[in-house]
Structure 1
Amino acid sequence: MISAISWVPKGASQPVPSVADLPSKEEIEEIVQSGAFDTIGNSYEEMDGGNNQHDSNDEEKDDDDDDDGDHKSGKDVNLSNDKYEDITDGLKELDMDNYDDEDDGIELFSKGNGDRYYPSNDMDPYFKDKDDDEDSEDLEDLTIKPTDSVIVCARNGDDGNHLEVWICEEAVDGELNTYVHHETMIFEFPLCMAWLDCPLKGGERGNFIAVGSMEPSVEIWDLDIIDEVQPCMVLGGIAEKKKKKKGKKTSIKYKEDSHTDSVLGLAWNKYYRNVLASASADKQVKIWDVATGKCTITMEHHTDKVQAVAFNHDVRPVLLSGSFDHSVVMKDGRDPTHSGYKWIVNSDVESLAWDPHNEHSFVVSLEDGTVKGFDLRAATSNPDSESKPSFTLHAHDKAVCSISYNPSAPNLLATGSTDKMVKLWDLSNNQPSCIVSKNPKAGGVFSVSFSEDSPFLLAIGGSKGRLEIWDTLSDAAVSRRFGNHSSHQARS
């Protein structure tokens, strides 16, 4: 499955990423002693249990998807007696016992110029040119051009957990060329991501991805390094695990100011580039200074798991958080002790997003398949007075896991759901209308995201574990309604 997707701004990646140094013996021992490899086994157990659950659930059956043929269960690969006989007949035909016998009249070894001996490949013109060509091809494959779009996917599969770095090249003859540039293996099951450019390693900019997982920590990985084995920074986490002598329970000691449960949501503040917000199943919201690796603010204004967080695009310290306690809360980082503003919803919050074209508006997607829009100007700090939504949209038949505003076209919103559908909506005048509905063959959709640089490209990830890129402007209905925004620059 692909649980989260994040676009990397064009030009942020190094043209040729560097290759990580091999870890030293001490570093390997440190990784082993940390128990990181133990979590792989746990992840596989969880994944196997999850797979069994999905197999029994009609939601994950997609009879009209041709690709499902490669993943059908219940078909064991066994060699029957007939198969063994076919192999035996094949070996007899090869006559391996007489393989080395020379045929009469055939000269196996030539006497021409091809027999010339060169002390090294550098002196052999054939091999020298071949090596140069291979080096040139390898360098070309590694190079990320300024025009390339880069997408990071958090993926879980039979081969473990990975961060996949995809390249989406500019369209040629109307077709997008997408491929995996490189991938990084991570130990924990990834749940959420946020890209950030805080210069953690010096310089003016950086190219990092923050990852939240089933563990109570936030890992920050350098996207400009290939084959890295450890994150460059870890925020919070477990300091020590001890098994009690009696019983099977394990006592856990957490690092100072750490979350104590899974990290479910992340948000980076692009104006204060060292600031990262995290939401956790421990009911807390934390603000981190990634330059120092320290937690600066801990907020406990929810009574259940916190699923999502988002910084306002214009009022820079203002943060939204959405929870399983059926509420959305807005807090100001400049006064975290203030109770803030609260909006009550009728289901678990799955995702939330600020309108990039209106600092007063935001939308919330819920587990019951609805999407609600709110306006700050109608908010009240009175806990006994409920703020009504600007609109309520019955968007999907199942949970709306992800939403994304188009950064170029006002009122254009994408929604993705576990009902396997992705829909585009026009929210004009707070009267939502569906423009187009599509099954991208991604399975249950967990993440949708419009690109900032190519605003009408929508990245989609779901339970089938493959990235889908939808050029939404190719749809006639979208082009008619929003095509005039295609030449506009995305919001910086």
Structure 2
Amino acid sequence: MIAAVSWVPKGASKAVPDEAQLPSKEEIEEMIKSGGLEEESEHGRSEEDGEDTDIEDVEQTDEVSQALAVADALGKTSKKNSEAKLDDIADGLKELDMDHYDDEDEGVELFSRGIGDLYYPSNQMDPHLKDKDDEDSEDLEDLVINANDAVIVCARNEDDVSHLEVHVYEESNDGDVNLYVHHHIIIPAFPLCMAWLDCPLKGGEKGNFMAVGSMEPSIEIWDLDIIEEVQPCLILGGIDEEKKMKKKKKKKGKKSSFEYKEGSHTDSVLGLAWNKEFRNILASASADKTVKIWDVVEGKCSFTLEHHTDKVQAVAWNHYAPQVLLSGSFDRSIVMKDARISTHSGFKWSITADVESLAWDPHNEHSFVVSLEDGTVKGFDIRIAKSDPASESQPSFTLHAHDKAVCSVSYNPLAPNLLATGSTDKMVKLWDLSNNQPSCVASRNPKAGSIFSVSFSGDSPFLLAIGGSKGNLEVWDTLSDAGVSQRFSKYSKSNRAET
């Protein structure tokens, strides 16, 4: 399945990603000392029976025993034929004279100056090397991520193996599309959510990183510009392994409760949101009922917000007021707070079902939508929010969008009022929210199974990435739909003119 999809801005990825560095000699020696690697026993000792075996005896007896075994297995030779074949083998071994194999014959030049010294002036003239060079250049070309290539990352699980798949989406001038996996990163736990960030964790002005929330209480941040990486560049929170090992040594055979790093979540991380204005800030939502604000440069939790009474499913930063954070929970409430002030009471909206996802309108600083487990999508205007918890703030609209849970929503970054929804009813729908009177513009079954994640591209705004239970990444060019084109194509034309 694909639990989450995320677009990487064009030009953010390295043209040719780096390869992960192999462990050093010192690191390997340390692994051996710690018992991670076992050295082979000396003098041909058999570990199965614990007895010493003389290697020369094995060499002498193997010739006969192997020949007999082959003859018996084939069942096509008589005893007489077997003896004849053994004689042939013996004659062959005698001719090879293996006992004097390493002795050099006098007068024979191993490196002659005859025809073997012929060479081609260049690899391009040598047909064998030329073909190899062509293959190498093609492999290198496949690794290159061009500035105009779109990059999509999927959080994927298959056969109990979890990984991030980095896809490249190429569009040629004649309209042909090529979507392929560029590389993947194996991750240790089942992924639930992602957030891309460009905070320069390794120096420089920007980076290309993906924060991943999983069934574990930690948040891992991976460098997307490194191929075959085995370790995240940063881990926020999680179980304190040092304390865990100490407890194991003290209390062997007894189960001890986990000890977490300072500021860590204590349950699965269900939602993540990166702050594009304050690039070192990451918000997380957890099944432990808390929302946490992290400083990824410092690698620690700055604030813990405890305003929900059940699992927190989603968080989102306001596009216009980047200190304002929205969170949605299984306690059937949405809360808006100033994340800079942990004691800020905030504003609260009560809803009728568990929250699945939420999103701020990128074209209107006062509006957001929330999708629910019962298949509905509700829109709210924060200008009519009431600080009194006893006073109910009514939604701007209620949309019965799907027959089952609406797991994901995504606003189009270019066309106002265009919203995509994805549901476990296997459908993806596009809505026009104009005047708070939603109307369905297009619907599609992308054959991706239950839909868990939909996301419009920031660079090619009418491309919608879709991930679901079947594990196949789908990309829908929504502008190719007649209903979408009729209502929103003007935004595409104006965008091309500006470009």
Q: Give the TM bin, normalised by the shorter chain.
A: 0.7 to 0.9
Q: In the aligned structure 1, how far is the partner of 2:215 from the partner of 2:118?
A: 56
* CA distance in 1 between partners of 2:389 and 2:155 (Å): 38
**Does the CA-based 8 Å contact 1:3-1:447 persist in structure 2?**
yes
Name the amino acid aligned to 1:345: I
- Name the counterpart of 1:395: 401
Kindly indicate whether residue 142 of structure 2 is the aligned counterpart of residue 137 of structure 1.
no
Over residues 185-229 of structure 1, what are the superposed CA-to-partner deviations in whole Å (9 max), with x where a residue is unaligned? 111100000000000011101000000000001000000100000
Gaps in structure 1 of 5+ consecutive residues: 35-87, 89-114
State whether residues 408 and 488 of structure 1, in contact with CA within 8 Å, keep that contact through their aligned partners in structure 2: no
1:146 equivalenced with 2:147 (yes/no): yes
Q: Distance in 1 between matches of 2:216 and 2:254?
A: 20
Distance 1:120 1:8, change over 3 A: farther
- Residue by residue over 1:148-179, the C-alpha shift from the partner in whole angstroms, topping out at 9 and shown as x without a partner, is 00000000001611100000011554332100
CA 1:279–1:378: 2 relative to 1, 3 Å:
same
- Tell me the residue number matched to 1:11: 11
Whether the 8 Å contact between 1:347 and 1:366 is mirrored in structure 2 is yes
- State the SS of the aligned residue for 2:139: helix
Letter in 1 for 2:216: E
1:210 corresponds in structure 2 to: 211
TM-score (norm 2): 0.79
Name the counterpart of 2:382: 376
Residue-pair matches, total: 413
Deviation digits for residues 55-79 of structure 1, max 9, x if unmatched? xxxxxxxxxxxxxxxxxxxxxxxxx
Q: Name the SS of the counterpart of 1:253 in structure 2.
A: coil
Question: Aligned AA for 1:20?
Answer: A
CA offset at residue 334 of structure 1? 2.5
Structure 1 counterpart of 2:456: 450
- 1:188 is matched with 189
Distance 1:196 1:489, change over 3 A: farther
Tell me the alpha carbon deviations over residues 392-446 of structure 1, each in whole angstroms, 9 at most, x when there is no partner: 0000000000000000000000000000000000000000001111100000000
1:434 alignment counterpart: 440
Instruction: Determine which of 333, 342, 353 is the counterpart of 1:327.
Output: 333
SS of aligned partner of 2:302: strand
AA of the residue aligned to 2:3: S
Q: Which amino acid in 2 is paired with 1:216?
A: P
Kindly tell me: are residues 454 and 27 of structure 1, through their superposed partners in 2, closer, same or farther at Cα, counting changes over 3 Å? farther
Within 2, Cα distance between the matches of 1:11 and 1:313? Answer: 22
The superposition leaves residues 109-164 of structure 1 with CA deviations (integer Å, 9 ceiling, x where unpaired) of xxxxxx96468897671123223212211211000001100000000001611100
Runs of 5+ unmatched residues, structure 2: 35-73, 75-113
1:164 aligns with 2:170: no
Matches within 5 A, 1:399-478: 399-478=405-484
Change in CA separation of 1:117 and 1:207 when aligned onto 2, cut-off 3 Å: same
Partner of residue 91, structure 1: none
**TM-score, normalised to structure 1's length?**
0.80
Three-state SS of the structure 2 residue aligned to 1:403 is: strand
Distance 1:363 1:22, change over 3 A: same
User: How high is the sequence identity, in percent, across the aligned residues?
Assistant: 73
How far off its partner does 1:250 sit? Answer: 3.4
Aligned to 2:263: 257
Instruction: Give the residue type in structure 1 aligned to 2:455.
Output: S
Identify the residue that residue 127 of structure 2 maps to in structure 1. 126
Structure of higher CA gyration radius: 2
For 2:488, what is the secondary structure of its paired residue? helix
Question: Which amino acid is 2:159 matched to?
Answer: D
The CA deviation string for residues 25-81 of structure 1, in whole angstroms up to 9 with x for no partner, is 7767999999xxxxxxxxxxxxxxxxxxxxxxxxxxxxxxxxxxxxxxxxxxxxxxx
Tell me what 1:105 maps to: none
Change (3 A) 1:28 1:346: farther
Which residue identity is paired with 1:203?
A: G
Q: Separation in 2 of the partners of 1:462 and 1:31?
A: 39
The 2-side partners of 1:32 and 1:484 are apart by: 65
